[in-house]
Amino acid sequence: MNNWFNIKRFWLVLRHEFGDAWVEIAIFVGILLVFSIGPSAFFRGGHDAAGFGASLITGTAIVLYYWVLASRLFANIQKTERRIGYLTLPASNAEKFYARLLLYWLLPTAIFFFPYPNSGMHTDIYVAHIILSLLIVEASLAVLFGTIFRRFGFLALILVEAAIVNGISAYFATHPRAFSNFDFSFVAWVMEYAGPDLENLGKLTFRVTAVPTVLNIGLARIIFSRKRLRRPVVNTEI
Amino acid sequence: MVTISNLEFSYGSHRVFQNLDLTFDEGKIYGLLGMNGAGKSTLLYLMSGLLFAKDGTVDFNGHNMSRRSPNALADLFIVPEEFDLPAMTFERYIKLNAPFYPNFSRETLDNCLNGFGMTADMNLARLSMGQKKKAFVCFALATNTSLLLMDEPTNGLDIPSKSQFRKVVAECMTDNRTIIISTHQVRDVENLIDHLTIVGSGKMLLDMPVAQICDHLTFGDFKLGQQPDGAIYSQPSALGNAVVCSRTAGDDETPLDIELLFNAVVANPDSVKQAFAAK
């Protein structure tokens, strides 16, 4: 039997891990459903003044939970007792990693973005593509941080990103010249690069999304393959 | 079965093992003993691929365990001292986990559960720690893996369950299986084990079959003031002194007193070594 990846074993791991994941996926679907109905509907479309604020709040809630879910990829190895059972489960590191990735990231991504293209959420197609790209790349970062920090992955991600954003802000605040010279609009760059052809825009979005996403997931996969027990909490008196 | 070669392992600056060589053969039940912090659990975790050696190798039937190959993992099972069972029925737990173990036997599981007076339709969330341990041990035995590692398996078991534990382990033992039991509760496994391994100070203090130990040493209680010839270790007991002696020609064989032997090995390892070398 293939030691690296075996479909039958992958299915067994998937079935095994679904017992852990289904509650969180169900909560995600529930949030999506609740926030898709009524005046504050995230996917309602249109930009009237009354709906925009509510739609922004619900949208933020959904996106945050989507990222938190991705960062909970290895919450099951937070406790030593559970970590022993999971790491000695007879499956390869790849099968365990991709089973959890499928349940905590790919499945929620599919559920989340299935209604997105027809939502009319962003009338500007360029902005829509940029946001889509950012959401997915950020989720892949959440997966990476979840692999490193497990249950507190999302918290660590927020702290790191806050530090980076504050660092950049502080730099521009203390270097007014640099700020005045900074004349870059990401949307304008996308519009110029992709041109009016939507196929080009699609290719650009795919590339901009795929490269960092694959890098983040690949790094997470390597880190996961080195997971072991930490210093035991018992029998260490010497 | 399991060959540990030149193993070196440490937690940060605290060295646990240095140049450790050890072999576990099939068809035996090993008792793994040691003081607190001696590295018994660490050794089990190294054998199951949960920890990686700093140097040296842990080989299980040709598999380097630090690679955690699925084929190797499917042929070993570890019962840790503390574990977490999901909140579901035991029947569902079996359905989700048994397919990973190709030699899993439902018949063995039912027999073991019967022995403990349990059934598979119980809800794991409603069980006490001792009941969970019994269920988990039954599942571990039913996997029929070549290597079964148990860390303090009798902790939390009631008195009848401890004797039942010995019974089910003995029943599930086969010639091509190795069971390693790490424990401080030596009385619980005294008549079960047939090889004793004692670790301490990062090295092996004793690694010997029980039959060979009984061939070299005798164990007995003596009244105060009576110190037999060839005594290599004594400690106060209810009857006076419990004594470990070198066995000489003509001495009757005595049952192994693991607790007494352990204390002798830890307190006076050189004398014990000399006793084994002398005969």
The residue ranges of every structural domain in chain B are 2-201, 209-278
- CATH 3.40.50.300 fits domain B2-201: yes
| Complex ipTM | 0.89
Number of neighbouring beta carbons within 10 Å of residue A116: 15
Contact B149, B48 (CB under 8 A): yes
Predicted pLDDT at A234: 45
**Amino acid (1-letter code) at residue A114:** F
Predicted pLDDT at A9: 95
Mutate to test the interface with A, among B47, B64, B100, B155 (most CBs of A within 10 A): B100
Confidence class of residue B127 from pLDDT cuts 50, 70 and 90? Answer: very high
Predicted pLDDT at A233: 44
Q: Which residue among B11, B73, B81 places its CB closest to the CB of A88?
A: B73
Q: What size, in residues, is chain A?
A: 238
Predicted pLDDT at A184: 67
Which pTM was predicted? 0.86
Residue A1 pLDDT > 70 = no
Q: Which residue among B68, B81, B84 places its CB closest to the CB of A93?
A: B68
- Closest residue in B to A14 (Cα) is B96
Mean pLDDT estimate for chain A: 80
Confidence class of residue A236 from pLDDT cuts 50, 70 and 90? Answer: very low
Q: Structurally, how many domains does chain A consist of?
A: 1
Question: Per-residue pLDDT tens for B218-229?
Answer: 898 887 777 777
Residue B14 with chain A: CB contacts under 8 Å: 236, 238
Domain presence at residue A231 = no
Task: Supply the DSSP symbol for B89.
Answer: B
Residue A48 pLDDT > 90 = no
Confidence class of residue A182 from pLDDT cuts 50, 70 and 90? Answer: low
CA distance A145 to A140: 9
Q: What integer is the mean pLDDT of B116-133?
A: 94
Question: Per-residue pLDDT tens for A59-109?
Answer: 778 888 888 889 988 888 888 888 899 999 999 999 999 999 999 999 988
The boundaries of the domain holding residue A44 are 7-225
Residue A54 pLDDT > 80 = no
Residue B12 pLDDT > 80 = yes
Q: Which stretches of chain B sit within 8 Å of chain A by CB?
A: 11-12, 14, 35-38, 40-42, 45, 48-52, 68-71, 73-74, 76-78, 80-84, 86, 88, 92, 96-97, 99-101
Q: Which stretches of chain A sit within 8 Å of chain B by CB?
A: 1, 3, 6, 9, 12, 15-16, 19-20, 79-82, 84-85, 87-93, 95, 228-229, 231-232, 234-238
For residues A52-66, one letter each, b for 16 or more C-beta atoms within 10 angstroms of the residue's C-beta and e for the rest, the string is: eebbeebbeebbebb
- The three-state secondary structure class of A22 is helix
Residue B63 pLDDT > 70 = yes
Predicted pLDDT at B196: 95
Mutate to test the interface with B, among A92, A235, A236, A237 (most CBs of B within 10 A): A235
